Every structure is written in C-alpha cells, then in structure tokens.
Amino acid sequence: MLQSKLFTRTERFAPKDEETVNAQLLTRAGFVEKLMAGAYNYLPLGLKVLRKIEQVVREEMNKIGGQEVLMAMMHPKENWEKTGGWQKIDVLFKVQSRTEKEYALGQSEEEIVTPLTMRRVQTYKDLPLAIYQIHWKFRDELRAKSGLLRGREFFMKDMYSFHKDQEDFNRFYEIAKQAYLRIYERLGLTAKVTEASGGSFSEKISYEFMVLTDAGEDKIYYCDACEFCVNQEIAKQKEGETCPKCGKGKLFAAMASEVGNVFDLGQKYGKDFDLGFVAEDGTKKYPVMGCYGIGISRLMGVIVEKNHDEKGMIWPEIASPMKVHLLGINGVSGAEIYQKLQTAGVEVLFDDRDANAGEKFADADLFGITWRAVVSPKTGDKIELKKRSESEAKLVSIEELIAAVK
C-alpha cells in the first residue's frame, strides 16, 4: 500500500471534543473518524486493525465448535415483545416505518437466534450448538465519550450456545471462558475475570473480562496475590481488605474496561418462544442457553489505551494494521525494497511521499505499525529495522528483514 495514495490524512492535533487517548490517537492517525457521538467511520488502516482483531476472535470461536452466521440487524417488534425486551431494555433502539410498523435494531440477538436455531432442533441429539456472528450492534447509550470504548453503534462478536441440560451447559461454559482468555492473551492483553450476578433476566452467574485502564468505566477490586477480582457495583468487599479468596493478598481498587462477558441464560428464551426439543426420556424440554459477547471495536480502543506513548500508538503484531512501515528518506526511494516485500507476501505500508524524514518518522510513530524499516543514504544496501515498541534499531539485509517479520 502506497502512503501517497492512502485514503487518510494525519492531523497534528486531536479534535477538542475527544477526551480519551484511543479516540485522540486513532483520529489523528486517520484510522477512524467520528461521525457523531458514539458512531465512527473506519478508514483503511483502522478497518485493517478491526479485521485483525475480528479474525483472532473468529479463530478461537471456531476452535471450540462455534458456527458463524450473519443475522439481520433490523428485527421485528414481535420477537422483542415475546421476551419482554421491547419494554424493559432501555438501550433498545426502536425504528418506525412509514407504514407505522415498528422494528428494533439489534443490541444483542437472543430474540433472533433462539427461533433461528430451535426451529432446526428436533431432539436432544441435535444439541449442543454454538452459533455466533460478528456484526454491528446498536444501543441507545446515554454517554458516549470514551471513543471506541463506548459506541452507540459498535462491533461485537456474540455467540449463543444451546444445551440439553445444565450439566452440558456448565461443561461448555468453562470451555468458552478459556477461549476468551486465549483471545485476550493473543491480543497482548491481561484480562481479569470478575464473577457477577446475571443481567436483567437472570440471577445466574456471569463472568466479566476486565482489562485495567483508567479509560474504562467499570470500577473493580482485585487481589495483588491471586486472580480474585470483583466489580465494585456488587462487591461486599472494600479497598485495602484482605483478599477473601487467598487470605494473603490485599484488595486494590482500579478502573477497568469490560472487554467481554459470558452469561448463563437458563431456559428463559426457549420458554419465551415455546421452542423446545424432545429429550432422552421422550418429554419436551427447553434448551439451557448461554450467551458470550466480546466488544471487538472496544478491544481496538483498549489496545490503544494500553499500548501508546507520547508519539503515538504501538500495535502488538497480531493487531497491527500492516506488518511493516517502510520509509525511504533523504533521497533514497525504497521502491525496490517495497517490491521485494510485496513479492514475499509481506503486508507493507510504503511511505513514498515527497516529504522530509521528520514528517515520515512522526507518522510512523503515530501509526504504530509493529515494524519500521528505513532506507536512507546511511543504510547502504541494508535496511534499518526497528520495532515500534523498542528503541534499538539494527541493520539487516532484505532476506533478514523478511525472516524477522514473517
């Protein structure tokens, strides 16, 4: 990709109305552009990051047997009335047609996935099933001031599992929890797991996956010695107390962002739609369901909050919009290296602009692409290679460069 042709422009200053680092840096770098509070346009480099995060999530969902679908974003009112959501869910966006018919915009999809799945399930032998999608969600959030961390329109992975009984659900719940932890680890994030009582419809246990960051909107207590972690909203504990789990560590208070959660939905949705299956004993039963959400666009924002310096973003390799940012400076074009990297199948953004070295370096630091490769009169037939996260550069050959980034 040629930077001279790239559909974006970097800005020296962040928009005044952006309060969080993620929104400031992503906007300055031209990765996203705010359309209005809570809604962003994704430009080429921003979209690449979103797609990379999405792919990690997809791989881990597929590994545990998830099957990907794409459900409609616009829903009939009847489905939401059946579950009570039309009345009870305050963030639900409602749309009216010119024919006065009403619709809901998807904010979570139990109302759609339950009939979709259960119409295809006859007996217990058809279960378990885990169905997921990666799609936009709409929520009428009151405050949307945290950049990508809280959108009114945002990108989510939502999976729903269907089981013949509680025991089978419990088995899968644990598998899904582990898959979530793998996702965060692959993205270079440390997620703490809080245990919480369920959402509006269930008193069951749910788990929230929290990444510590001051940009987050959740207050948590965590133990400095073991994995104990609770959301302050529901906590019986106080800051400074001895950990109730290990009895050794102390509880610290921190701000965190919820990057995912998993819920035990029980039998509510099967019952609401009266869609059951024939159990082993021949009777009609309702499925025990789980739902598993991950905020993909929020994750993009959280990664920026956790990985930046005063010059810009610092992408972990797995989420970096490109593998290599190639700069030709002080009269050296770099076009030949660009060709070779492309032939070798390396994703590369080539700064071929007629700009001075200072400008090129500043953009490279702002974009935060994992590897920066510079060719200049000083580097001769070698290339100066540096990781955005490190300060030391080294001189390498084109072969060494390809080997290092592949």
Q: Which stretch binds ligand ATP (CB under 6 A): 46-54, 169-177, 243-251, 288-296?
A: 288-296
Per the CB < 8 A criterion, the answer to whether 8 and 48 are in contact is no
- In the chain, the largest separation of any two C-alpha atoms, in whole Å, equals 80
Cβ nearer to ligand ATP, comparing 23 with 243: 23
Three-state secondary structure of the chain: CECCCCCCCCCCCCCCCCCCHHHHHHHHCCCEEEEECCEEEECHHHHHHHHHHHHHHHHHHHHCCCEECCCCCEEEHHHHHHHCHHHHCCCCEEEECCCCCEEEECCCCHHHHHHHHHCCCCEHHHCCEEEEEEEEEECCCCCCCCHHHCCCEEEEEEEEEEECCHHHHHHHHHHHHHHHHHHHHHCCCCCEEEEEECCCCCCCEEEEEEEECCCCCEEEEEECCCCCEEEHHHCCCCCCCECCCCCCCEEEEEEEEEEEEEEEEECHHHHHCCCCEECCCCCEECCEEEEEEEEHHHHHHHHHHHCEECCEECCCHHHCCCCEEEEECCCCCCHHHHHHHHHCCCCEEEECCCCCHHHHHHHHHHHCCCEEEEECHHHCCCEEEEECCCCCEEEECHHHHHHHHC
Among the residue ranges 1-9, 82-90, 243-251, 252-260, the one whose residues contact ligand ATP (CB under 6 A):
252-260
Q: Which is nearer to ligand ATP, 179 or 341 (CB)?
A: 179
Q: Of residues 61-120, which lie at the interface with ligand ATP (CB under 6 A)? A: 108
Query: Is residue 259 part of the contact set for ligand ATP (CB under 6 A)?
Result: yes
Asked whether position 151 contacts ligand ATP by CB under 6 A, the answer is yes
- According to the binding rule CB under 6 A, does residue 295 interact with ligand ATP? yes
Stretch that binds ligand ATP, among 190-198, 237-245, 254-262, 344-352 (CB under 6 A): 254-262
Report the nearest approach of ligand ATP to the CB of residue 14 (Å): 20
Residues contacting 167, CB < 8 A, separation 6+: none
Among 164, 298, 306, 388, indicate the residue that binds ligand ATP (CB under 6 A).
298
Residue 192 touches ligand ATP, criterion: CB under 6 A: no
Q: Which stretch binds ligand ATP (CB under 6 A): 14-22, 255-263, 278-286, 372-380?
A: 255-263
Q: Which of 50, 113, 156, 179 binds ligand ATP (CB under 6 A)?
A: 156
Find out whether the peptide bond into 128 is cis, omega within 30 degrees of 0. Answer: yes
**Polymer length in residues for the chain:** 406
How many residues interact with ligand ATP (rule CB under 6 A)? 16
150 binds ligand ATP (CB under 6 A): yes
In the bound state with ligand ATP, the residue whose beta carbon lies nearer, of 180 and 228, is: 180
Q: Does 141 interact with ligand ATP (rule: CB under 6 A)?
A: yes
Question: What's the closest the beta carbon of residue 288 comes to ligand ATP, in angstroms?
Answer: 18
Extract long-range pairs of 358-361: CB within 8 Å, 24+ residues apart: 360/327, 360/329, 361/327
**Among residues 66, 85, 260, 334, the one that binds ligand ATP under rule CB under 6 A:** 260
Q: Smallest distance, Å, CB 296 to ligand ATP?
A: 8
Binding mask 121-140 for ligand ATP (x = CB under 6 A): ------------------x-
Residues from 339 through 378 that contact ligand ATP (CB under 6 A): none
Report, in Å, the least distance between residue 158 CB and ligand ATP. 7
Among positions 40, 154, 180, 273, the unique one binding ligand ATP when judged by CB under 6 A:
154
- 290 binds ligand ATP per the rule CB under 6 A: no
CB of 150 to ligand ATP, least distance (A): 4
Smaller CB separation from ligand ATP, 21 or 127: 21
In the bound state with ligand ATP, the residue whose beta carbon lies nearer, of 3 and 261, is 261
Q: Which residues bind ligand ATP (CB under 6 A)?
A: 108, 139, 141, 150-151, 154, 156, 258-261, 293-295, 297-298
